[in-house]
C-alpha cells in the first residue's frame, strides 16, 4: 500500500512545501503580492499580461481575430507573465487581478484605464465592445454564453483535475486519474454530440464560445495537451476533431497561438507582441540567432 493510501488528514491543514508537484514552488494558500514590481505599459489601446497557456491563447486569438477583421482599435501589446517564476504575484499584476492568474487585460482606450480578468469575461468584454464574435439575437447570444460558461466551468476538470494528476503530480495516483478521465471523456462526448450537426459551437457563426473551447478541447483532440491523446482515445471524437482542424487553419488562430508562448519550436514562440510585424521578425528563432 502506498503512503498516499494511508493518508489521514491532520486536524488542521498546513502547507507542505515539499509535495513535489510541478507547481509546488509557486502555489500558496494566500493571495496578494509577493514582491513590488510595476507592470510595463505600451502604446496600444490594450495591454495584455499573459502566457501562452490555453486560457491565455483564448485572448490572443480573440485580439488577432478582431485585427484580422480590420478592427484597428483592438491593437495590443502582449507582455509575458512567466507564471512558473511567480510574475503573477507582482504588486502591479495583483493590482489588476487580485486572483493572480493569467490572462489579465488593461483597456487604455478611454480616459480611465479599465482592467478585466478571467478569460471568459475578457472575451465577452471584447465581443461586446466591438460587437463581433457574439450573436446580436438575444436567444442566440444566450446560447453562445451558455457554451462560454460551460467551458469556464468544465475546463478546470480537464486542466486542474485530469491534466494535473496525469501529467504534473509527483506520482501517478489511480483514483484521481480515473475520476478525472471519466469526467473529461464525458465532457468530450457532450461536445462531440453537440457538434454532430453543426460547424460551430453556437449559431452558424464562429463566436467567443468557439474561441474559448478550442484552446482546451480542440487542443486535446489535436494531441497537444498532456500527451494524453492515446490514453483518452481522442481520435474517436470525430466531430470535435473536424471542428478543431477547421479552426486550427484560421490565420488569426495560428498567430494567437504564438503570442506569449514559451514552449515548442522557437519559430512558434513570440514572447512579447507589440506590432503585427513581430510575427515575422521577433520569434525566438530570430531573437536567438
Ligand atoms: N478562470 C481563470 C483561470 C486562469 C488560470 O488558471 N490561469 C493559470 C494559467 S492557465 C495561471 O495563471 N496559473 C498561475 C497560478 O496558478 O499561479 C481564467 O479563465 O482566466
Residue nearest to atom 15 of ligand 1 (CA): 101
Query: Which cell numbers in the block locate residue 200?
Result: 460551430
Quick check: is 281 in a domain?
no
CB atoms within 10 A of CB 69: 13
Give the span between the Cα atoms of 180 and 59, in whole angstroms: 26
Q: What is the pTM of this model?
A: 0.96
Q: How far is the CA of 118 from the centre of ligand 1 (A)?
A: 8
pLDDT of residue 22: 73
Per-residue pLDDT of 23-43, as tens digits, reads 777 888 999 999 999 999 999
pLDDT band at 1 (very low <50, low <70, confident <90, very high): very low
Q: CATH number, domain at 169?
A: 1.20.1050.10
Bridge pairing between strands 114-117 and 104-107: antiparallel
Residue nearest to atom 13 of ligand 1 (CA): 101
Quick check: is 69 in a domain?
no
Query: Which range, of 8-12, 17-21, 270-274, averages the lowest pLDDT?
Result: 17-21
Q: Residue 146's domain spans which residues? A: 138-256
Q: How far is the CA of 102 from the centre of ligand 1 (A)?
A: 5
Q: How far is the CA of 243 from the centre of ligand 1 (A)?
A: 25
Query: Which cell numbers in the block locate residue 186?
Result: 464525458
Q: CB under 8 Å to 178, separation ≥6 — which residues?
A: none
Per-residue pLDDT of 159-213, as tens digits, reads 999 999 999 999 999 999 999 999 999 999 999 999 999 999 997 899 999 999 9
Residue nearest to atom 12 of ligand 1 (CA): 101
Q: How far is the CA of 108 from the centre of ligand 1 (A)?
A: 23
CB atoms within 10 A of CB 73: 12
Quick check: is 144 in a domain?
yes
Per-residue pLDDT of 215-250, as tens digits, reads 999 999 999 999 999 999 999 999 999 999 999 999
Helix-helix angle 238-248:174-194, to 10 degrees: 80
Quick check: is 91 in a domain?
no
Residues lining ligand 1, judged by CB closer than 6 Å?
26, 53, 55, 83, 88, 100-103, 118-120
Nearest to 79 by CA among 110, 46, 36: 46
Question: What's the structural domain count of the chain?
Answer: 1
Amino acid at each position: 500500500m502506498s503512503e498516499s493510501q494511508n493518508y489521514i488528514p491532520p486536524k488542521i491543514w498546513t502547507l507542505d512545501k515539499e509535495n513535489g508537484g510541478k507547481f509546488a514552488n509557486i502555489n500558496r494558500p494566500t493571495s496578494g503580492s509577493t514582491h513590488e514590481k510595476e507592470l510595463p505599459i505600451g502604446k496600444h489601446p490594450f495591454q495584455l499580461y499573459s502566457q501562452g497557456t490555453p486560457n491565455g491563447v483564448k485572448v490572443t486569438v480573440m485580439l488577432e481575430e478582431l485585427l484580422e477583421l480590420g478592427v484597428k482599435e483592438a491593437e495590443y501589446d502582449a507582455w509575458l507573465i512567466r507564471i512558473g517564476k511567480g510574475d503573477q504575484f507582482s504588486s502591479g499584476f495583483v493590482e489588476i487581478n487580485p486572483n493572480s492568474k493569467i490572462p489579465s487585460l488593461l483597456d487604455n482606450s478611454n480616459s480611465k484605464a479599465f482592467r478585466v480578468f478571467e478569460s471568459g469575461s475578457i472575451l465577452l468584454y471584447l465581443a461586446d465592445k466591438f460587437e463581433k464574435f457574439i450573436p446580436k439575437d438575444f436567444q442566440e447570444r444566450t446560447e453562445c454564453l451558455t457554451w462560454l460558461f460551460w467551458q469556464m466551468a468544465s475546463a478546470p476538470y480537464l486542466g486542474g483535475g485530469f491534466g494535473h494528476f496525469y501529467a504534473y503530480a509527483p506520482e501517478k495516483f489511480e483514483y484521481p486519474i480515473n475520476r478525472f478521465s471519466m469526467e473529461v471523456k464525458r465532457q468530450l462526448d457532450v461536445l462531440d454530440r453537440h457538434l454532430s450537426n453543426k460547424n460551430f459551437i453556437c449559431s452558424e457563426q464562429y463566436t467567443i464560445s468557439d474561441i474559448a473551447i478550442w484552446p482546451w478541447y480542440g487542443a486535446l483532440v489535436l494531441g497537444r495537451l498532456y500527451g494524453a491523446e492515446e490514453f483518452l482515445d481522442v481520435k474517436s471524437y470525430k466531430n470535435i476533431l473536424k471542428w478543431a482542424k477547421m479552426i486550427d487553419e484560421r490565420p488569426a488562430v495560428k498567430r494567437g497561438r504564438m503570442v506569449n508562448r514559451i514552449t515548442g519550436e522557437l519559430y512558434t514562440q513570440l514572447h512579447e507582441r507589440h506590432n503585427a510585424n513581430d510575427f515575422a521578425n521577433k520569434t525566438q528563432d530570430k531573437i536567438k540567432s
